Amino acid sequence: MPLSKVGDIRKLNNEELNKSISSTKRELFELRFQKATGRLKQTHLFKHARHRLAQLMSVERERQPTPSKRINYKNSKAFATENFRVKEREVVYLEERQKITQSGTAIPQSKSEYKDSMSKIDSYILYAFDLLKRGLKPEGIGIFQTSEGTYQLPMLIQVENDAWRPNTLPDYDERSRMGRFIVCLGSRRTIELLQKDDFVLSVEASRRGLLGDQSSRSESQEHSNSVPNLSSIEVIKADVIHQYERGDRAIIAIVDTGIDVLHDAFLGEDGRTRIIAFWDLQNDREYSADDINQFITSGNAPMELRDLAERNGGHGTHVASVAAGQRGRFFLGGVAPSSKIIVVRVDENQVLGDSYTYQKALNYIEKISIKNDNLPVVVNISSGLEEGGRDGRSGLEQTFEFFLENGQKPGYIVVKSAGNKGLDRQHAKLNLRPGTSGALVWGNLNTRSEDEIEIWFHQGNQIIATLTAPNGDSSGETGFGLRYLADGSFSNGNEYSIRYRESSPRNQDSQFSVLVSKGSAECIEEGRWKLKLEIISKKHPRDGSIHAWINGCTNSRISFLDHVDREVTLTIPGTADHVITVAAMKDAQQVCDTSSAGLTRDGREKPDVAAPGEDVNGACAGTDSGVCPKSGTSIAAPHVSGAIALVLSAREKRNLSQFSSRQIRSYLQRTTANYTGTGDPLMGHGLLNVENFFNECGEFNS
């Protein structure tokens, strides 16, 4: 095949040129993959594709408008000043290091302090392996060992192509896979080889999330056998729709602590269960509808099917009843009272992390949906993870996008609670100008053994950081132009690790990960911990916003003491593009104080809508028909899940094509009770109105 001529390429119009560039890139990727796997026989094809892409890109650049004035940045005064400052800081650091060495204080152990040789690897994975090497145990991740005693950690790998397979990776143990996203166990040696694999994009820790986005104020409330005066179903006007549609041709999937299969909220009019599948992921055991009906007949069921775990017990039962509960002896009924139900009981300890839990759950739910006439399904997730950039680009968020086909998969919807971080003071935001500095300060008087802070900012903002302990000890400077990793110990015995990533593989933004552990002390020192941040320059005229979060994956309950910002506190995966995120309302106008707020860090409107979330009555686990009130975004989300199930069921009966997540979100937002056309960081587009939603979707048949 002859090489293409640039003259022929210049004859293409802009649209044809763009299409040619895209197709050639895809072709080059496939040839590169074949070459790497030894399947490329005609090696000249790779050369020809690269040649053609270079020609196409050259023509594209020719057509771009030429700037009126070009500045050679490297010859500019700004560059000279910046370069001098960086070199000056390096000299200061080397002098400081020499003093530290002479004094005998711990110094960073990195082999290369000025180059990050593990740029694809999540900071917490490196930190956890370092602790294990020294005989300490990290709090925020599950720990495994091979038969030889080698430590393994659960991790989420993102690869370029779903055909990727590991070739003799030591200590690699694959546990789940969804497209280009793989959950596995791996050792330190595993991640070293993954770092070198050109087809591996990123390796993230598979962390334990918060099981149940539920406000703590309702924990102590007892169940009741009394009927409340007003149901939340009436508030959102779902009762108006029940004379036309009750959701019997749709599935609501509950991924939660489980469900009490004996409660009358989950029975049909014939007294048989409406649960079509129950998977106890914790014990890897599946129960069919027939199994559950036998338990109902006998009046006894295993504890795993009564949702009575010591921690968060009854959470899944309450959530499921709000979305799909039938009216019972005392319970007034849920939003879609005749819908079919899938239950995935998640591991209470979540030793393999949320990435594993959600991958396994989503794969299982899709399998059951296919077995049941491909009925449309709404997945309700009333729990969340507190880590990452909150911009939709993490591996976990992208796993949900893969499941939803970027919001275009018909009949598959995921609804997520916003989170209950509104009053926790665990997000801080600084706005710094070039040449200025600010400080993040956190602390508490409680006893704790691990603090974890994540700081995210645009790559154009070049920042250095210094950690100071309450006793005045300092870590020295870390960041742009200096060492990328600083770890050591303070005189109080506490240990620290500060890692700087100039370009994260998740989103190409810059990141500091700050981890403080008790070290040789009994606990982390009480008082004010301070991280000084200084912008030494900015390559681009862009907002200098710096976002910081205290990760809630550990047992540490600390808070920021200044620069506190309630916004951008949604829990993951509620920040994914096409997951429908739900805030909690006290009434038609007022958002619950604890409800997490948007936007996302990259400025997208979230949450999407709001629903009742304070003192909502639902089924009480451990009883045959009792009810109890609970509060939080956990309880708001199932209202929206039930509303969507009503619409999908009505369309299924009329043999109409099913809506995708993109379409459902649009209908939900513009039919709220207080819709204004603009999203609000607290309540999204307003309070859910099921009557308006059902009518707007064209399902109202009067």
What is the structure's pLDDT at 68?
A: 40
Cβ burial, residue 376 (10 Å; 0-12/13-18/19+): buried
Helix or strand (DSSP H, E) at 123: helix 123-133
Residues 299, 589: Cα–Cα separation, whole Å: 44
Residues 383 and 446 placed together within one structural domain of the fold: no
Strand-strand pairing, 412-417 and 251-256: unpaired
Write out the residue range of the structural domain in which residue 34 sits. 6-63
For 187-229, what is each residue's pLDDT tens digit? 999 999 999 999 999 999 998 876 655 444 333 334 444 434 3
The better pLDDT of the pair 367, 217 is held by: 367
* pLDDT in the model for residue 115: 52
Decide which of 157, 173, 205 is a domain's last residue.
205
Does the pLDDT at position 459 exceed 90?
A: no
Q: Are residues 418 and 432 in the same domain?
A: no
661 and 544 assigned to the same domain:
no
Give me the mean pLDDT over the 635-660 stretch.
96
Across residues 304-311, what is the average pLDDT?
84
Phi and psi at residue 478, to the nearest 5°: -140, 145
Residue at 89 is within a domain: no
| CB-neighbour burial class of residue 294 (10 A; exposed 0-12, middle 13-18, buried 19+) | middle
Which has the closest alpha carbon to 635: 654, 620, 616? 616
Q: 615 in a domain, yes or no?
A: yes
pLDDT digits (tens, 9 = 90+) for 250-260: 999 999 999 99
Tokens of 375: 């009925």
pLDDT at 60 (0 to 100)? 77
What was the pLDDT predicted at 36? 61
Is the pLDDT reported for residue 436 higher than 50?
Answer: yes
pLDDT band of residue 698 (cuts 50, 70, 90) is confident
Q: If we measure between CA atoms, which residue out of 369, 362, 429 comes closest to residue 569?
A: 429
Query: Is residue 437 in some structural domain?
Result: yes
Find the CATH number of the domain harbouring 41: 1.10.287.310
Give the dihedral sign, CA 450/456/459/460. Answer: negative
Instruction: Tell me, yes or no, whether 42 and 154 share the same domain.
Output: no
CA distance 155 to 116: 20
551 and 593 in a single domain? The answer is no
Do 339 and 194 lie in one domain? The reply is no
Q: Is-contact 108 482, C-beta < 8 A?
A: no
From 469, 226, 212, select the one nearest 345 (Cα to Cα): 212
Query: How many domains does the chain divide into?
Result: 4
Greatest mean pLDDT among 61-75, 335-349, 435-449 lies in 335-349
Q: Are 346 and 254 within one domain?
A: yes
Q: Which residue has the tokens 């800081």?
A: 89
Whether residue 85 lies inside any domain: the answer is no
User: What is the CB neighbour count within 10 angstroms for residue 521?
Assistant: 15
97 falls within a domain: no
Confidence class of residue 460 from pLDDT cuts 50, 70 and 90? Answer: confident
- Tell me the mean pLDDT in the region 226-251: 84
Give pLDDT tens digits for 12-49: 888 788 788 878 877 876 776 676 666 777 777 877 88
Q: Domain holding 605: CATH number?
A: 3.40.50.200
* 8 Å CB contact between 252 and 336: yes
Give the pLDDT of residue 184: 96
In angstroms, the CA 435 to CA 102 distance is 32
Query: Is the residue at 236 inside a domain?
Result: yes
92 has pLDDT over 60:
no
256/378 same-domain check: yes
pLDDT at 420 over 50: yes
- CB of 309 within 8 A of CB of 280? no
Given a contact cutoff of 8 angstroms between Cβ atoms, the answer to whether 324 and 252 are in contact is yes
Q: Can you give the pTM of this predicted structure?
A: 0.81
**Same domain assignment for residues 345 and 446:** no
Amino acid at 254: I
**Counts for the chain of helices (H) and strands (E), in that order:** 14, 26
The average confidence (pLDDT) of the chain is 85
Same-domain pairing of 500 and 643: no
The 10s digit of each residue's pLDDT in 123-136 is: 999 999 999 998 88
CATH number of the domain to which 452 belongs: 2.60.120.1290
Residues of the chain above pLDDT 90, percent: 62
Domain boundary, last residue among 46, 63, 80 = 63
Domain final residue, candidates 525, 560, 595: 560
pLDDT value at residue 539: 59
Q: Is 409 inside a domain boundary?
A: yes
Average pLDDT over residues 396-400: 95
In a domain, 115, yes or no: no
- Condensed to tens digits (0 to 9), the pLDDT of residues 137-182 reads 888 889 999 999 999 999 999 999 888 998 789 999 999 999 999 9
> Cα-atom radius of gyration of the chain, to the nearest Å?
27
Which pLDDT score, from 0 to 100, does residue 227 have?
38
Q: Which residues contact 205 (CB under 8 A, 6 or more apart)?
A: 122, 124, 125, 128, 140, 141, 153, 154, 155, 156, 353
Give the pLDDT score at 206. 93
Edge-first strand order for the sheet with 285-288 is 285-288, 275-280, 340-345, 251-256, 377-381, 412-417, 580-585, 609-612
Q: Are 187 and 266 part of one and the same domain? A: no
Does one domain contain both 512 and 661?
no
